[in-house]
């Protein structure tokens, strides 16, 4: 591979196809003409000699441009992950082909970082820490009693992205009351600012009803942007997602239903999942990064 690299930052760059190779099909691969630049080692990482490798699943369009990126495995450090994603987002690829025609395909890129050399062996950085693995485990359960909540949050490594997971609300705790039904939600946050896709289970109606709402809290109040209503048994399994981009547009999706989007004035710094008054199981959580000029929703 002959791509131009900035020195002192990247030590590993490996690409391999996720697609099944066939006689009439070729996977996408990195353009080796010298147009791609590896990211410089982030200045913020030098303070603690951060080291690690970020593994990215990259969807490449028929024009060779990156359509979206999923952080498959974190380096263990948000600034290293962000540097890897930002760099690969601007890379040029040779697109996949099928029967001689360019098509959309997928590949996986591993980018490794280590601090620049410090001069002598005595000042050399310590051994690289073990990567922290996926942003979220493949499946996990969160539980919280009535009037309490618990959440799992991770840094958001990209300005434009989507978080998606399959949700099953499993065990409500305590009597159902109108004011405080059991809840579970996906959330994107930046300090006190947040947007979340909220699932509430109303147990005191027949049949028990679950509904979803895209919510923006403002100064302690709750503004419901759009509500997705269900009349389904408790324990219904649904796929939920929240997408956002650099223009401040947020879209929530439940199964095939989607909100019209809302504009916010900030970029998420964290993404995650939360539960109040019960227990919820989240399966196959994914964080997908997309170019800043991507469409407002991801079909």
Residue range 261-279, pLDDT digits in tens? 788 888 888 999 999 888 8
- Is 10-117's fold the same as 139-289's? no
Q: In a 3-state reduction of DSSP, which class is residue 96? A: strand
For 121, which DSSP code?
A: G
Could you tell me the residue ranges of all domains in the chain?
Answer: 10-117, 139-289
Q: Which residues have CB under 8 Å from 249's CB, separation 6+?
A: 261, 262, 263, 264, 296
CA atoms within a 13 Å half-sphere pointing along the CA-CB vector of 136 = 29
**81-103 b/e with 16+ CB inside 10 Å = b?**
bbbbbebbbebbbbbbbeeeebb
pLDDT average, residue stretch 89-98: 89
pLDDT of residue 20 exceeding 60? no
pLDDT tens column, 135-182:
788 899 999 887 788 999 988 888 888 999 999 887 665 555 545 678
More confident residue, 230 or 3: 230
Q: Is 3.40.50.300 the CATH number for 10-117?
A: no
Model pLDDT, residue 231: 61
Could you tell me the pTM of the whole model?
0.67
How many Cβ atoms sit within 10 Å of the Cβ of residue 23?
5
pLDDT of residue 124 exceeding 50? no
Model pLDDT, residue 120: 36
Q: Which CATH architecture has domain 139-289?
A: Sandwich (2.60)
């Amino acid at each position: 591979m002959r791509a131009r690299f900035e020195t002192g930052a990247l030590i590993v760059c490996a690409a391999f196809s996720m697609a099944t190779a066939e006689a009439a099909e070729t996977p996408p691969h990195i353009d080796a003409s010298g147009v791609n630049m590896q990211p410089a080692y982030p200045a913020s990482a030098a303070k603690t000699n951060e080291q690690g490798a970020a593994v990215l699943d990259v969807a490449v369009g028929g024009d060779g441009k990156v359509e979206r990126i999923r952080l498959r495995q974190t380096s263990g450090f948000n600034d290293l992950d962000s540097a890897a994603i930002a760099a690969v987002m601007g890379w040029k690829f040779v697109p996949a082909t099928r029967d001689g025609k360019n098509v959309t395909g997928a590949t996986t890129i591993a980018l490794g970082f280590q601090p620049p050399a410090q001069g002598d062996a005595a000042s050399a950085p310590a051994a690289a820490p073990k990567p922290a693995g996926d942003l979220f485990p493949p499946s996990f359960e969160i539980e919280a009693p009535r009037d309490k909540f618990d959440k799992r949050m991770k840094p958001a490594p990209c300005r434009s992205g989507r978080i998606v997971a399959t949700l099953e609300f499993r065990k409500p705790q305590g009597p159902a009351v109108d004011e405080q039904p059991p809840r579970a939600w996906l959330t994107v946050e930046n300090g006190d600012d947040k947007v979340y896709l909220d699932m509430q289970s109303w147990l005191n109606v027949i049949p028990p009803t679950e509904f979803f709402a895209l919510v923006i809290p403002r100064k302690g109040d709750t503004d419901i942007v759009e509500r997705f209503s269900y009349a389904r048994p408790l324990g219904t399994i649904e796929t939920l997602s929240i997408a956002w981009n650099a223009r401040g547009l947020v879209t929530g999706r439940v199964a095939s239903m989607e909100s019209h989007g809302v504009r916010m004035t900030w970029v998420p710094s964290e993404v995650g999942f939360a539960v109040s008054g019960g227990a919820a199981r989240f399966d196959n959580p994914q964080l997908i990064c997309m170019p800043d000029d991507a469409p407002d929703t991801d079909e």
